[in-house]
Chains A and B, each alone.
Chain A
Amino acid sequence: MKGNTYKNIKNEYVGRSYAMFCGILIVCLTLAIIIFLGYKGINTFTKEKYSIIKFLLSSNWKPDAEIPEFGSLIFILGSIFVSIGAIMIAAPVSIALAIFINFISPKLGKKVILPSMELFVGIPSVVYGWIGISVLVPILKNLSGGIGFSLLAGIIVLSIMIMPTVASISSDALKTIPRDYLEASYGLGATRWQTIKKVIVPASKTGILTGIVLGLARAFGEALAVQMVIGNTLKMPFNLFKPTVTLTSAITMDMANTIDGTPYNDSLWSLALLLLIISFIFILIVRIIGKRGEIK
């Protein structure tokens, strides 16, 4: 009996310590990612003495020149434009899907739309990229006469990839609307569309906004699918039908071709650090939206 009690106490401590260890590990890993990427990414500014302002606002990118220039505005704008373009297509469709699932036809929504969303999420990003290259790019080529690899191709591929994210988060938000709101609205004689427009969407604004921000974050960080279809040319992303380049595609393309420790390589790590910081900003925005939603 006494041995058993001892064993139980020991197990209790071992179990608790292990669970605690896993919790601490997550914190350590996150900190390690921040510290190591920060340490590598800061070299451009400390070792090369390149100014942060120029890094962010200049479009002069000559990392392997005699006097290297690391202005990465093109990458930043490329990433911003492709993500915003994607969310502009994905958001309305996703919100419509969320409304359909919850209010128009819950039966079809549960049997058809939700499983479809899961499959959309499941298709790997390289497969999206490959379909982009082999189906979408030729179509765009015929339409516009360019080479097909373009900002628009990136936007279309990304919009399909982030649609399930936005749709599922918006749908969760719509689900939590109190029934009273709907009954009150119908009781006043409002039609279903009026209820959707005037009651449902405004009441779930916070959740829908969270979905949109998370969709944007996903679009911003997606690497391979975008890299495969966007063309990767160092050109400002001001023409939908012309190729351009993004932060992620630049890192993916050039990391293997540069030698560790060179200014060129350091500048790619700075791009990665920038990507990390931007993903923090997205988390911050989501948190702020959540907080404001709570107060109301």
Chain B
Amino acid sequence: MNNKLADKIWTIVFYIISGLVVLLLFSLLSIILYRGLSSLNLTFLTTGAKFGEAGGGIAPQLFNSFYMLFIALIISIPLGVGAGIYLAEYAKDGVFINIVRLCIETMASLPSIVVGLFGLLIFVNLTGLGFTLLSGALAITIINLPSLTRVSENAIRDAGRHVKEASLGIGATRFQTIWKVILPAAMPQILTGVILAAGRIFGEAAALLYTSGMSAPPLDFSLSNLFTVNSPFSLLRPAETLAVYIWKLNSEGMVVDATKIANGASAVLVIMVLLFNLSARLIGNKIYKSYSGK
């Protein structure tokens, strides 16, 4: 009887712990959104920061975040998928593949501030370019490469299992098989991984502090400016992202209504992350449906 009672009590304890964790998440999200919504409006999203007076917006930082995400993905997807193909299809068991795996493991567990410092050393100082968007994107590539490689490797292994031999059997070369048969089939799964990575990139700050810098020059979209070094699309300009901006607002008391801006910016970041997660989930469900034939 005692044992049964203990079992009941522990079952309730597990329910309570899980319930509290979910409650914590919902209260966190509602605090972030509730506090942010009052400062969220069109002016906030479309104007730049103001110095010495209230009412500044986050437009340059928001643009930089998206642009950084775009550039970082353009650099890291081909590399991650390439490495995934290598591990899943070409690599033979042996010393070298063990080294590659150890390196992936090492890279995956590097603290992002350490990656940022490496970026400072190589991309910022050694090349002499200073704080640039490109340096930030490269640092983020280092952070993302391990997870993208893993996702691609698994996706390619899963997709290749059934169709690979059929394709090789009708005379396709290995690369043809990968390019025309396996990659298209693995794409949805890779895409899910990429979107989740995008959420992480969007909120990354530690690796960017010392690579893409802590200043956001005003963005001038006029035609005469688009092809100069100061163009909004230039890779060689400093580009403070939204996440870095939140950090800076707290460490330097430069802006009058820092609290309000940080609240708004946090809400924007969290909404974006929610959107990324939601779309990854939708794509994931779609894949599941197409595989299970429903």
Contacts and interface: CB of A to CB of B under 8 A. Distances in A.
A224 to B, nearest CB: 5
Given A123-B28, A126-B246, A19 B89 contact: yes
B127 interface: no
A97 B109 contact: no
Contacts of A104: 11, 14-15, 18
Contact of A214 (B100, B109, B173, B210): B109
Label chain B's interface by main secondary structure: helix
Contacts of A293: none
A36 B17 contact: no
B209 interface: yes
Contact of B266 (A105, A122, A131, A224): A131
Contact of A22 (B83, B99, B118, B179): B83
B292 to A, nearest CB: 15
Given A27-B103, A100-B17, A125-B206, A221 B11 contact: no
A12 B89 CA distance: 12
A255 B210 contact: yes
Interface in B99-115: 99-100, 103-107, 109-115
A113 B22 contact: yes
Given A29-B142, A30-B107, A124-B202, A23 B83 contact: yes
B86 A23 contact: yes
Given A16-B90, A19-B82, A96-B18, A37 B178 contact: no
Contacts of A193: 3, 6-7, 10-11
B110 A29 contact: no
Nearest to A37: B118
B270 interface: yes
B270 to A, nearest CB: 6
B35 to A, nearest CB: 7
Contact of A33 (B4, B14, B86, B110): B110
Given A116-B21, A127-B203, A191-B4, A36 B114 contact: no
Contacts of B125: 260
A99 B21 CA distance: 14
Interface stretch (B161-169, B218-226, B271-279): B271-279
26 contacts: A20-B86, A26-B83, A26-B146, A27-B103, A29-B107, A31-B103, A99-B14, A100-B14, A100-B17, A105-B15, A122-B273, A126-B203, A127-B270, A129-B250, A160-B24, A193-B6, A196-B10, A221-B111, A221-B114, A223-B206, A224-B205, A228-B250, A260-B125, A275-B114, A279-B111, A282-B109
Interface of A: 8-9, 11-12, 14-16, 18-23, 25-27, 29-33, 36-37, 40, 93, 96-97, 99-100, 104-105, 108-109, 112-113, 115-116, 118-120, 122-127, 129-131, 133-135, 160, 163, 191-194, 196, 214, 217, 220-224, 228, 248, 251-253, 255-256, 260, 269, 272, 275-276, 279-280, 282-283
